[in-house]
Amino acid sequence: GAVVSQHPSRVICKSGTSVKIECRSLDFQATTMFWYRQFPKQSLMLMATSNEGSKATYEQGVEKDKFLINHASLTLSTLTVTSAHPEDSSFYICSARTRQGSYEQYFGPGTRLTVT
């Protein structure tokens, strides 16, 4: 089956620093990757949609200059949280879709970000 990995699984950073999260599709090429955020006891909220080789599309209310997304290849997307603050502490999950028009999304294991 399709496998998506994320790195790191957990990260603690100080307020004001930046942190990068990687999302990789291990055994398939992902035309589209999605980034979600999940606060404790809440559901997943889509942050942005990333298509390989083009700029990410951000959901309303998500600051594109704060959450930088790069999808430079068909197997890798990165999310950089710039100038992180404690309120950015959350569970960040990526998912990948194999081809245009496919409804299936395969989720990564998530990254727990804690900003102190």
Verify binding: residue 42, other proteins, rule CB under 8 A.
yes
For 26: left if phi > 0, alpha if psi spans -120 to 50, otherwise beta; the answer is alpha
Sole binder of other proteins in the list 32, 37, 56, 77 (CB under 8 A): 32
Verify binding: residue 60, other proteins, rule CB under 8 A.
no
Sole binder of other proteins in the list 11, 49, 52, 76 (CB under 8 A): 49
Beta carbons of 97 and 105 less than 8 angstroms apart: yes
Cα 8 to Cα 116: distance, rounded to the nearest angstrom: 17
- Residue closer to other proteins (CB basis): 3 or 16: 3
Question: One-letter amino acid identity for 9?
Answer: S
- Residue closer to other proteins (CB basis): 46 or 68: 46
Here's the x/- map for other proteins, 1-30, by CB under 8 A: it reads as: ------------------------------
H, E, C per residue of 85-116: CHHHCEEEEEEEECCCCCCCEEECCCEEEEEC
Interface ranges with other proteins (CB under 8 A): 32, 34, 41-46, 49, 91, 93, 95, 97, 101, 103-105, 107-110, 112
